[in-house]
Amino acid sequence: MRVFMRCKLLLQHSRNSFIHNCDCVMQVLNLYANDGERLFKGATWAAHLANGPIILVVGMAYAISLFGVWALVGFFILLLMIPLQVRMLEAISNN
């Protein structure tokens, strides 16, 4: 009888430690998955940051070849509208 109780307690203890170990393993796995996704997103954004200025220059050169100086005028008007959009967004969000 005593041997049976000891075996039962030992089995219960091993189950609890197994569940606790599984919880730790899942937490570590979740940490690695989140870090891996952040690295992937960082790599894709780094490619966009590296290619962005090149695409902008090539696109502006092509637009100038098609439309002339008016392409630069349109581009600068677009850039001047960004602060206006920010101010309008701040005014809307304060209400």
48 vs 25, 42, 44, CA distance in Å? 35, 10, 7
Give pTM, 2 decimals.
Answer: 0.50
75 CB contacts (<8 Å, ≥6 apart)? 60, 63
Tokens 């677009």 belong to residue = 78
Tokens 């870090």 belong to residue = 35
- How far is the C-alpha of 24 from the C-alpha of 44, rounded, in Å? 31
Which pLDDT does position 35 carry in this prediction?
A: 86
Q: Which helix (H) or strand (E) holds 8?
A: helix 2-67
pLDDT in tens, 35-47: 889 999 999 899 8
